[in-house]
Each structure stands twice: as C-alpha cells, then as structure tokens.
Amino acid sequence: MSAPLVLSVLILIINVGLWLFFYIKFKTEFSSAKVLENIRREVDKLLIEIQRETENTTLLIEARIEGLKQLIDEADKRISIAEGEIKKRRHEKQVLSKLHAEETVPVKKTQVQKKLEAYEILASPTPAPNTPPEVEVAVEPELFNQEPQFSVAQEPVKIKKSVKDKIIEMYKQDFTTQYIAKELGISVSEVDFLINMFKNSK
C-alpha cells in the first residue's frame, strides 16, 4: 500500500470515530429526557423560591396584623379611660351643683327666732350712723308696757347642716363611707369624693 492511501484510510477512521463520539454526546446532552429533566429541575427551584418568598410575605403580613391588633387594643384602652374620665367629671359636676344648690337654700326662721330678733330691736334701738343727734326715734308706748312673750318649742331648734358638713362630721367620727352614704341617702362615690376634697383642702 502506498503512503497516501494509508493516510487517507487513517483520516477516514478518525473522522468516523469523531462523528460517532459527537453523535453520542449530542444525543445524550440534547435528548428529550435530558431536556425534561433540566426543565423539571428549574421548575423545582422556581417553586422552592416562590414558597420561600410566600412564607416571608406571610410572616410579614402576620407581624403587621399583630401590630395593628396591639394598636387597636391600645386605642380601645385609651377610649375606655377617656370615657371613664368624662363620666367621673360629669358626676363631680353633678355633685358640686347639688351641694351648691343645697348650700344656697335659705334657712327658714322659726317664730321664736323672729320674736327674739324683734325684741332685740325694741330693747336696744340704735340710730342710723347718718342720723343727727337731735332726731328722736318715735316708739309706741304700748311696746314698753307690754311684757315680751316667748313660746318655747317642744324640740330644740336645729340648724340645718349641708350634706357636705354632715359627711365631714361623720367622717371625723370614724364612720365608714358605706354607713355615711346609707344614713344620708346618697351614693358611696359622692361620699368618697367629698371626703377626698376635705383631705386635699388640709
């Protein structure tokens, strides 16, 4: 055999070998099973990433929902405290107006007090400061000849005390607030309020 023929056969064998090698490699690399496997792997990665992002988003939403619940609870507490303060101030205003009304009620004078005042005016008449000394006050003579008449009441005259004074007096005598409220016919909160006012005024 000549050298060129041997070289040609050798090149042909090498080409056939390389063709077979690349054919097998491309067949294994780009086969449908391999492509499907790669697609499946990428889809799995994508699903894992989506699941991770979903979990993070869910945790973030839950944390924000919990924060909103805490803010709502805090707002409810403050609203209830504010409503309590408003009710307390309204109650204080009612108690103060009630006490003011009781203190401004004029005390009626009894017949004995009226007669005593009249007798004192007759017994010691005092001229007005601007009256000249030569002016004489005319008094009926029958008033000097009359005996002063007094009528004694069956029961001693009692000066009506306000509810506030009664509460303070009973408090000083170490009565309980429940007993004071029951005796005076008022609520325990009113008694506590007036006692606290008395303590703070010291």
Q: Is residue 43 part of a domain?
A: yes
Assigned token pair, 131: 């009256």
Q: What is the pLDDT of residues 170-193, one digit of tens each?
A: 888 988 888 988 888 888 888 888
Name the residue with higher pLDDT: 29 or 49: 49
Q: What is the dihedral of CA 75, 76, 77, 82, to 10 degrees?
A: 90
Q: Is residue 22 part of a domain?
A: yes
Q: What is the pLDDT confidence band of residue 79, given thresholds at 50, 70 and 90?
A: very high
Q: What is the pLDDT of residues 144-168, one digit of tens each?
A: 455 555 555 555 555 567 788 888 8
Sequence-distant (6+) residues with CB within 8 A of 163 are 98, 99, 102, 184, 186, 194
**Boundaries of domain holding 51:** 16-103
Give the domain-ending residue among 64, 82, 103.
103
Q: Is residue 35 part of a domain?
A: yes
Mean pLDDT value across residues 46-73: 90
Give the domain-ending residue among 103, 125, 151.
103
